[in-house]
């Protein structure tokens, strides 16, 4: 198994200075790079096992959030739990888009071809990236996600697929917020698949097969899907945090 390359603050390159991990894909891999975006308090190594599980052999790119809340890395500031600093969110999404463009040049993948997989704060920066810089990524899997903006910016998301995996008892992303996130994305042309589990703010193990299946069309073509529509599936069973 290829070991991740972990880049630190001293690495050359104006927008590659942020700590991040890069795991090259297996020889012969023709699918997209998977962009892994951690939750609050995580780092660039947190979601590497999930990336390997969802897309064995795929190249993995995992940046660390550049904002600290106390000692906990995040991708953008929040004013309090559930209330985001939208000016900072917009700036950090632009920063992440520049990082992705620089990483594409450094590691040799096509800009805009990535599939993002984000948990919590990482899911929220992924959806913010879609809504402000849709050219930066293709598809996205959003886990424990909520709407990043009070009023989502106007943007054309036709051709982007999104899978949302949320809990019915999530106090941070309750069902009304989940519905609003779905509406924000579908009304802008994205194709959205919604999976709900009975738990809280966590990754549901029963949703992993659907996530793997979601990645298969992207992996087989290296491209994203097309028309805007939505579907919803209730998933129950065991969960893991």
Q: State residue 156's pLDDT score.
A: 97
Query: How many domains are contained in the chain?
Result: 1
Catalytic residue among 20, 46, 133, 170: 170
- Is 240 part of a structural domain of the chain? no
User: Catalytic site residue 127?
Assistant: no
Name the residue range of residue 94's domain: 5-234
Nearest to 134 by CA among 109, 153, 108, 106: 153
Q: Is residue 117 part of a domain?
A: yes
Residue 137 lies in a domain: yes
38, 46, 120, 207: the active-site residue: 120
Confirm whether 201 is a catalytic residue. Answer: yes
- Asked about 133 being catalytic, the answer comes back as no
The stretches in the chain having pLDDT less than 50 are 1-3, 6-14, 223-241
CATH number, domain of 29, equals 3.40.50.1820
pTM: 0.86
Residues 160, 197, 201, 207: which is the catalytic one?
Answer: 201
Tell me the per-residue pLDDT of 163-189, one tens digit each, with 9 for 90 and over.
Answer: 999 999 999 999 999 999 999 999 999
Kindly report the three-state secondary structure assignment for every residue of 110-147. Answer: CCCCCEEEEECHHHHHHHHHHHHCCCCCCEEEEECCCC
């Amino acid at each position: 198994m290829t070991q991740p390359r972990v880049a630190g603050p001293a690495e050359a390159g104006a927008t590659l200075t942020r700590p991040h991990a890069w795991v090259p894909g297996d020889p012969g891999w023709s699918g997209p790079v998977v962009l892994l975006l951690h939750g609050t308090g995580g780092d660039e190594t947190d979601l590497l096992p999930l990336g390997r599980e969802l897309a064995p052999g795929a190249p993995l790119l995992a940046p660390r959030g550049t904002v600290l809340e106390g000692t906990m890395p995040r991708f953008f500031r929040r004013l309090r739990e559930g209330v985001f600093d939208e000016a900072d969110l917009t700036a950090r999404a632009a920063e992440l888009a520049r990082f992705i463009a620089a990483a594409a040049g450094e590691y040799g993948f096509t800009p805009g071809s990535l599939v993002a997989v984000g948990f919590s704060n990482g899911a929220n920066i992924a959806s913010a990236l879609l809504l402000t810089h849709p050219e930066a990524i293709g598809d996205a899997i959003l886990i424990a996600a909520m709407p990043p903006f009070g009023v989502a910016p106007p943007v054309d998301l036709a051709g982007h697929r999104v899978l949302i995996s949320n809990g019915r008892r999530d106090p941070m992303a309750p069902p009304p917020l989940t519905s609003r996130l779905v509406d924000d994305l579908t009304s802008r042309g994205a194709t959205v698949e919604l999976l709900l589990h009975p738990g809280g703010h966590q990754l549901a193990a029963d949703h992993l097969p659907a996530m793997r299946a979601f990645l298969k069309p992207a992996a087989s073509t290296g491209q994203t899907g097309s028309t805007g529509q939505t579907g919803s599936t209730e998933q129950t069973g065991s969960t893991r945090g």
